[in-house]
Amino acid sequence: MTNRNIERARRALERLGQQVADRDHDAFFGLLAGDVVFGYSAPEGTPVSEELHGKQAVVDFTTRTSPELVEDHELAGPLEYFERGDRVVALGAESYTIRRSGVRVEDHEFAIVIDFRDGLMARMLTIKDLTDFADAYREG
Amino acid sequence: MASRDNDRVALAKAAYSYMDTESPNYGNVNTFFEFLADDVVFTVTCSPDTPVYGGAKRGKAAVIKFFTEDDPGVLTDLQVDGPLEFLGAGDRVVVLCSQSYTIKRTGRRIRNKACALVVDFHDELITRILNIEDLSDWNYESRRAKPA
């Protein structure tokens, strides 16, 4: 079992290095548990504040919602992986443009915490600074 | 390699025992300072112009000042939510935690903020800490007018 979850995480997340329009999401979607919980370390009142529950919700977010929120997403190099039991953490840095404000976020570090269950991703939490995103999309 | 990973995790656990609610060191940040290299660099993932947290803190004295003066100067009632988790590989350890705190300026309580601390070691001392965390609430509150 050692490092197998890292390889699964690597397959799921390698799509992040591709442009949104060209991404092959199959590897990512194929590794989602049916009852997956997906979320961001986001403040209240933004389009990513609430956790998503279930595989279809994550598919819908990935293919429809996310492309409407940000564009020109790029990774600043390969991800770095850490594993402990059924948990994998992926570290990386990314750049993207926030559609509503036009602000370009450059080389922002992030951590993705993935909990595996029976070889599938049961929980994903992305931790990163969302100040620019919240400024653009915060309600009220 | 596994032995080295475990050694680094053990060091990180000792260094961050001040955040472990079940440790006798809980709340004693001086324990953490003992693990800092003289040329340690501490960075929070935020824009450089973010009040208090923006820009790298370079050197042991600057990091100690941040933890003893700057951070406590703007936040209060800091609470660690649950146990810390340590994942290590080579000379790097990722510490996962969640914290709640009150922003002094506006009195707003921020709850259950997830954080990933990326800690690099060299010769059993911490040379680099990257604090990956969402600071949008802090940025928003620091720009608000102070409540009457």
pLDDT over 70, % of chain A: 93
Closest of B137, B45, B56 to residue A94, by C-alpha: B45
Look at residue B60 in the predicted model and tell me its pLDDT.
98
Pairing of strands A32-40, A52-53: antiparallel
Q: Which chain B residues are Cβ-neighbours of A134 within 8 angstroms?
A: 136, 139-140
**Which of residues A77 and A36 earns the better pLDDT score?**
A36
Residues A81-108, mean pLDDT to the nearest whole number? 96
Q: Are the Cβ atoms of B114 and A125 closer than 8 angstroms? A: yes
> How is residue A90 annotated by DSSP?
E
Look at residue A20 in the predicted model and tell me its pLDDT.
55
- For residue A126, which amino acid is it? T
pTM (2 d.p.): 0.94
**Which of residues A25 and A126 earns the better pLDDT score?**
A126
What is the Cα–Cα distance from B15 to B82, expressed in whole angstroms?
A: 17
Residues A75-101, mean pLDDT to the nearest whole number? 95
The length of chain B is 148
What is the Cα–Cα distance from B119 to B87, expressed in whole angstroms?
A: 10
The length of chain A is 140
Quick one: pLDDT band at residue A23, thresholds 50, 70, 90? low
Q: Say if residue A22's pLDDT is above 80.
A: no
What is the Cα–Cα distance from B120 to B93, expressed in whole angstroms?
A: 7
Look at residue B144 in the predicted model and tell me its pLDDT.
83
Using a CB–CB cut-off of 8 Å, the residues of A that contact B are 40-43, 80-84, 87, 89, 91, 108-111, 113, 125, 127-135, 138
A47-72 residue pLDDT tens = 999 999 999 999 999 999 999 999 99
Look at residue A139 in the predicted model and tell me its pLDDT.
79
Say if CB B49 and CB A132 are below 8 A apart. Answer: no
- For residue A69, which amino acid is it? L
What is the Cα–Cα distance from A137 to A135, expressed in whole angstroms?
A: 6
> How is residue B30 annotated by DSSP?
H
Residues A16-45, mean pLDDT to the nearest whole number? 85
The parts of chain B modelled with pLDDT lower than 50 are none
What is the Cα–Cα distance from A112 to A115, expressed in whole angstroms?
A: 10
Residues A93-110, mean pLDDT to the nearest whole number? 96
Q: Say if residue A89's pLDDT is above 50.
A: yes
Look at residue A16 in the predicted model and tell me its pLDDT.
73
Q: How far is B19 from chain A (nearest CA, A)?
A: 19
Nearest to A134 among B87, B130, B140 (CB): B140
Q: Say if residue A19's pLDDT is above 60.
A: no
- State the average pLDDT for chain A: 92
Quick one: pLDDT band at residue A1, thresholds 50, 70, 90? very low
Look at residue A140 in the predicted model and tell me its pLDDT.
61
